[in-house]
Structure formats: structure tokens, C-alpha cells
Structure 1
Amino acid sequence: MPSGPTTEHDKLAELRARIDVIDADIHGLLMERSTIIDALVAAKGTQSGADSTPTGAAFRPLREADMMRRLVERHEGTLPIITVENIWRVIISTFTRLQADYVVHLDGSADPLAMRDTARFYFGFSLDLIDADDPESVIAAIAESTTDLGVVALNRNALTPWWRTLGGAGPRILARLPFLQQTGRPADLPALVISPKVSEPGEPDIAVYDASWAVSGHRAENALTEAGIEILARHIGEGTDALIAVPSDMDAASVTSLLEQAGVEPGRLREVGGYAAAIDLDDDGDDDF
């Protein structure tokens, strides 16, 4: 008597049964993850006091980046890695919300459809999205919260130096979107995630500075770019206000020195956050950049 399926119908039934088992396993693992999150929340409450308010946003972008890197490293098969990223983002966002409820404030100066696509891809559909007028309004909303997040579109030529109010004890840049970079990917609006203080900030790969210099020409920008520093946004007035992304192994003194060597007078230089280096999927080796 045959031990395996003998007809095409039997083969299909067996494959579908295997899918059902896998789906049940996935569901079971998600419920198990939920119980661990419950235990984590309880442990944090024990450490800080049961009646205490959150000490900061539960957002963990550097840990998320490590998770995504491991996903990319072990991924194989025909399932697009961007789809896997989206699934994981929904899982992460949902379980983060179980630790500390939050909403996401969106920069209204960007294309609204592109902004919502990016936010939904990154945070999922169960989270409330709040439209704000502009980057300054997003930052103001985050400043009044201990757990909310904001998404601000990255425009190289900024209408205002909106980043001037970041840093210190106020809101900071904690992530850059999208994290997986790929030509033609969905939800590809370049953006920054703004957060209040987080309880476990970590050490980002890229430090972000609010900078200024006395002239508005290209000498300073060229000098910074040649040194591996990215100009995320700039506002040109009598001089230049800029939001710059600096590799973590380069300190503020080195940035100042570069500006001086370019023949411009450095002005303000304040650290206002940082983020994990993205993964460029268009590179042959899926290397970080």
C-alpha cells in the first residue's frame, strides 16, 4: 500500500495541510512572544515602580536594525525580503505599543500619500497616524509626549532649518527610513523618525548634527561630502544651516576642522540624534553603507 500521496489532489491536500501547520506554529509563536513582552513589561515595572510613568519611548531602532540585518543574512528563496521586512515591522510596532502606547505624527509638508505609505509600511495599520502641518509641528507634538513618535520627510533644500529645535533634553532623531534600500521598493520616501528621550538609546552608526557656517557656497558641502559626511538637509540664508550625517568614528572636532580647512567659518555644531546605517540591497553583497 503506497505510503505517500498517489494523485495530484492528494499532493495538493498534503501541501495545504503543511501550510496549515506552519500557520498554526506562527500564530503560536506570536502568542508566546506576547507572553514574553508581558513579562518584560512586568519586569520593567518592578525595576521602576509599579505606579511610575514611562521613562522614555519604548522604540528600539538599533535593536530593530540588528534584527533586520540578521533577517537579510539568513533570507533565501523567492519571498521578497522587503515583504519580510514589512511583516517584521508590523510585529515590532505592535509589540512596542504593548510596552508603551503611542501615536505617530506625520510631516504635512511632504506628499501625503507617500508619507502615509512610509508610515504604514514601517508602523503597520493598527497604529494611529496624526497629520501635522510641517516638521516644526511634528517636533512640537513629540516634545509634549513621552512616548509618541514623528516622521519628517527629508528634503535636501529645506524651507526652514526645522532641526534647530532638536537635541538636548528635547526630541531627537532616532532612525532613518527606509532601512532596507532598494531601487523601486515600496514606501521609499526618505524620512527621519523623531522621538522623545528613550530609555535605552544605544550607540548609533551615524551621528546627526545641527551645523552652520558663515557662507552659502559649495566649498563647505564639498569638503564634508568628500570626507564621507552626508548633507541630509540645508537651509540657505545669510549663511548655511545644515543637518549632517556623520560616521560615528568621526568626532565634532574633526567636522569643525574640515570646515576650517575649506576656508569657511564654522558656527553651530550640536549633536541632535543618530541612526543605524542602512542596508543597500542593490549592492552585490547586501553590505551596509
Structure 2
Amino acid sequence: MPDLNPSAAPLLPTPPAYAAELATLRAEIDALDDALHDIVMRRAGIVARLAESRAKGAGPALRPGREAAILRRMLARHAGPLPRSALVRLWREIFAASTAMQSNFTVVAAADNEHADAVMRLTRAHFGGTTPIRAMTTVGQALAALLSGEAAIATLPAPEPEEREDAAWWVRFDANSLQVTARLPFLAEPGSHGVLVVSPTPPDPSGRDRTLLRIELTADFSHARLTRLLADAGIPAHSLQIRRTGEQALALAEVAGFWEADDPRLKSLAGLHVQRLGAYAEAEPG
């Protein structure tokens, strides 16, 4: 049979002087693979018990905050040549498989603009290679699939200050029915456009989080005035954008910490109407 890849280097036999060492190292790797497999199977068994346990109650199978806390713990103790990104990828596949064991799990991704490739890539990397993921033509279609129960999760491009009016989905976002629960990627990628994860279930805290707030304003409210107002109320903003229409304006603020939707400090913010759109774990260095 002809060589289908003539440019490939031929496999050379191991020199006899190194054969014993190579066999020993491979045997160590085989033993570790078996040990890892044993632990993965034990973990899956505990997840199955959790899914059937009354202690869990009717809570959601997907817990983005807890997943982020686990990854932070793993990254804090990680050492050696294995890249941090590979460690996160391994655990993300475990998380995805564990979630699928507890519930039917389908993701829809709103990949309808210049960030479509990034949305699909980050969605697949986060939710694993076996999770069903469907690309939707518009953000509206993705959110409709979520509200109808057709999907458990939707991923959307993160808002940008200069985006088109029709792309500013956060202006019309139904915060009473849906919440942002995660931001991708978890390991920061300089220059990568962010993706937000949306769910019908509320977010859970990870220990180091940010919260998205939508604030109704009058048109004369300036960026600087709102920034000072938030800071004076103990709600420092990492980012802030304002969209004005006639005499009304809406602000989108990403603020430090995990804020509950009914926190009285939000309700009493200078008489302004404030809604939590969601919360998510802060990204970790790549």
C-alpha cells in the first residue's frame, strides 16, 4: 500500500539503551491513567447520588458560581508544566458531563454578527464537546428558545458601548424571567470579545463576582454623575454605558460584587429604578 503521507518522518526504533526507561515511564503513565479513571468514575457516582438526593431539592443542575469557585481552587493549587488552559478544559468537560447526568441540557448561541465565530468558539469551549449547541440567527430567537423551554441556556455577545441600537439586547432584556449567570471566557483572553450566558434560573455567587445593573434615568443624567452616585452608594462600577432615547435614558453598569436582585441598597439608589440583569464570576488570568 503506498505511503499516504510521504513527508511524515518514519518511526524510529527506540535505542536499546533507553528501552527499559521508556517502558518504565509508560507503565507509570498507564497506572496514573487507571487511577484518574477510577476517580472520575467515583465522581460520576456521587453526581448520580446527588441528582437523586432530596438534599439537592429542586435547584438547578447548572451552578456557574460553584463551577467558578472549583476552578479557582484548582488553579490556585496548580503547578507544573500542564498549561492552566488545559486544566480548565479538563474540568469544563467534567462539569458538562455532570450537568448532562442531572438534566436535559441544550444550549442556543446567538451568532448573528461579526462576533459569531467568537460566540460559538467560547460556547463550545465552556459547555464541552458533547453538549448540544445550536446557532441561532438572532439574539431574539435565542432568548425565545430559552423562554419556551426549547433550550436550557443561551449565549449572547457581551454588550459594547458603540454597538448598533438593534444589537443592544440588554435594553429589552426581560430580567423578571431571565438572568445572566456567567461571562466567558473564564480564563481571560486579551482582545477576545466577551460572551454572556443567560438562564431562566438565577445566578449563584462564586466568591468574587460582578453584577450587571440596568438603571432607568432621565436624559440629562451624565456618565460622570451616575458614576459618582454609584460610588457614593458603595456600588463601584467597573464599566458603564448610557443609551438615550428622547427624554429617557438607560444605563448598563457592571459593578463589583454579587448583588441580590432585591437588595434594598439598589431599591433606594436616589429614587432611580434599578434592575439586576444578572451576575457572574470574575475572569481569572490566562
| Shorter-chain TM band | 0.7 to 0.9
Classify the secondary structure of the residue corresponding to 2:123: helix
> Which letter maps to 2:99?
T
User: In the aligned structure 1, how far is the partner of 2:257 from the partner of 2:107?
Assistant: 27
Label 1:276 to 1:101 Cα distance change in 2 as closer, same or farther (>3 A): same
User: In the aligned structure 1, how far is the partner of 2:145 from the partner of 2:228?
Assistant: 35
1:269 aligned residue (251, 266, 274): 274
Matched-pair contact (CA < 8 Å) for 1:154–1:232: no
User: In the aligned structure 2, how far is the partner of 1:121 from the partner of 1:140?
Assistant: 23
> Which letter maps to 1:231?
S
The aligned residue for residue 257 of structure 2 is 248
TM-score, normalization by structure 2:
0.77
Q: Tell me the percent identity.
A: 25
Tell me the C-alpha RMSD between the 2 structures. 3.0
The aligned residue for residue 96 of structure 2 is 93
The aligned residue for residue 65 of structure 1 is 68
Shift in Å, 1:241: 2.1
Label 1:132 to 1:242 Cα distance change in 2 as closer, same or farther (>3 A): farther
How many residues matched? 257
Shift in Å, 1:221: 5.9
Classify the secondary structure of the residue corresponding to 2:180: strand
The aligned residue for residue 166 of structure 1 is 174
| Stretches of structure 1 lacking an aligned partner (at least 5 in a row) | 1-5, 49-54, 261-265, 282-289
Shift in Å, 1:64: 0.7
The aligned residue for residue 29 of structure 2 is 19
TM-score, normalization by structure 1:
0.77
Once the two structures are superposed, the pairs formed by residues 1-289 of structure 1 within 5 Å of their partners are: 7-44=17-54, 55=58, 57-110=60-113, 111-145=115-149, 148-157=152-161, 158=163, 159-160=165-166, 161-163=168-170, 164-168=172-176, 170-183=177-190, 188-197=192-201, 201-202=204-205, 205-215=209-219, 217-220=222-225, 223=228, 228-231=236-239, 234-238=242-246, 239-248=248-257, 253=265, 267-281=272-286
The aligned residue for residue 285 of structure 1 is none
Shift in Å, 1:206: 2.2
Label 1:244 to 1:255 Cα distance change in 2 as closer, same or farther (>3 A): farther
Shift in Å, 1:39: 1.0
User: In the aligned structure 1, how far is the partner of 2:56 from the partner of 2:199?
Assistant: 23
Label 1:58 to 1:108 Cα distance change in 2 as closer, same or farther (>3 A): same
